[in-house]
Chain A
């Protein structure tokens, strides 16, 4: 079975540019999560969706970050404009229900220079 699929795997961009990260959750999973991981702050939950509806976006750092889930098989996390402090690994994850095992994608490694 296909796992959570993320793209791009790696991105290097210049400060001020727009970054769009994409995610395809595991088929049949109703919950989707976006996490950010850095050495300093560890793994942080940015936002999660249940049945395509954003439930908790309190972890989104600021207005430069936005996330959408237009259908059950696709989600995006957008950063506009990007800043060097946004450099991190961004993980998308999904689970069958809100309290079920969370499965992570391989991550999108973002570097903003």
Chain B
């Protein structure tokens, strides 16, 4: 089983739609979680950290469910500029430190 699994998509949604991505992880020792965004032919950039209590940044909401070992990202009122690949990222501390990147979920927002 992969340490981090994401639905690769692509998700094709119209402008204004709400879209949600999930990411599951296998290592219960995972300690911190992030969502990164990667535009086509660009480097990954931090979108937001994910906290146990859930957190919101404008149209973006991130949730963590430790019991079920998944994190989620909700995008409300999608914009054309939200079209990108969204990478789920976690830090594992069990047996040493390691940052794991998911393969990413591709989102296309259409006019």
Contact = CB atoms under 8 A, between A and B. Distances in A.
A77 to B, nearest CB: 16
B99 A102 contact: yes
Most buried by B among A33, A35, A102: A102
B31 interface: yes
Nearest to A59: B98
B91 A99 contact: yes
Contacts of A107: 43
Nearest to A44: B101
A98 interface: yes
Given A99-B31, A101-B34, A91 B103 contact: no
B45 interface: yes
Nearest to A33: B99
Interface string A71-113: 0000000000000000000010000001101111111000000
A55 B87 CA distance: 24
A33 B85 CA distance: 21
Interface size class of B (residues with CB under 8 A): 20 to 34
B29 interface: no
Contacts of A19: none
Interface residues of A, number: 17
A99 B30 CA distance: 11
Given A101-B46, A106-B42, A107-B43, A42 B103 contact: yes
A42 B43 contact: no
Interface in A33-57: 33, 35, 42-43, 45, 55-56
Contacts of B61: none
Given A99-B91, A101-B34, A43 B44 contact: yes
Listed from nearest, the 8 A-B pairs whose CB atoms lie closest are: A104-B43, A42-B103, A43-B101, A98-B97, A99-B91, A101-B46, A104-B44, A106-B43
20 contacts: A35-B101, A42-B101, A42-B103, A43-B101, A43-B103, A43-B104, A45-B98, A55-B97, A91-B43, A91-B44, A99-B31, A99-B32, A99-B93, A101-B46, A102-B46, A102-B89, A103-B46, A104-B44, A104-B45, A105-B43
